Amino acid sequence: MKARRRTGPTDVVKTIVYDRDGGACVRCGVRDGLTVHHRVNRGMGGAREPWINQAHNLLVACTTCNSWFEDHPRESYEAGWKVRRPELPGEVRVRYADGSEYLLDPDGVRTTMVAPR
């Protein structure tokens, strides 16, 4: 058997992302049925980019919103839930369910750009 190539974030990174995002979906704020969403998709060979599975490229999202992002690319790019190459995830602010907006860094730090309502 060939060893499977790891394509997702490590458990350590997932924990950082869940803590940073308060354990709630960034778009709707629910706390159930959560998953880790990639802002820049893992494209062909994308997993080779070192930041693909780092915290600033990842958001906590419910499975409903995770699908919604794919169905609503324009709104998702506008809110920073998705990031379009060649922009980098650390350069694009993210809107959260409470109206706040942050820039994210690879270590899980959020810099406030717009304060929560």
Can you give the binding site for Zn ion, defined by CB under 5 A? 25, 27-28, 62, 65
Of 59 and 65, CB closest to Zn ion? 65
Of 52 and 62, CB closest to Zn ion? 62
Cβ atoms within 10 Å, residue 26: 23
Q: At closest approach, how far in Å is the CB of 63 from Zn ion? A: 8
Bond prior to 89 in cis (omega within 30° of 0): no
In the DSSP assignment, the letter for residue 29 is: -
Of 25 and 59, CB closest to Zn ion? 25
110 within 8 A of 40, measured Cβ to Cβ: no
According to DSSP, the residues that pair with 38 across neighbouring strands are 58
Of 6 and 117, CB closest to Zn ion? 117
Q: Which residues does 104 contact at the CB level (< 8 Å), separation at least 6? A: 20, 55, 56, 89, 90, 94, 110, 111
Q: At closest approach, how far in Å is the CB of 100 from Zn ion? A: 16
Q: At closest approach, how far in Å is the CB of 64 from Zn ion? A: 5
End-to-end alpha-carbon separation of the chain, Å?
A: 53
Q: At closest approach, how far in Å is the CB of 1 from Zn ion? A: 37
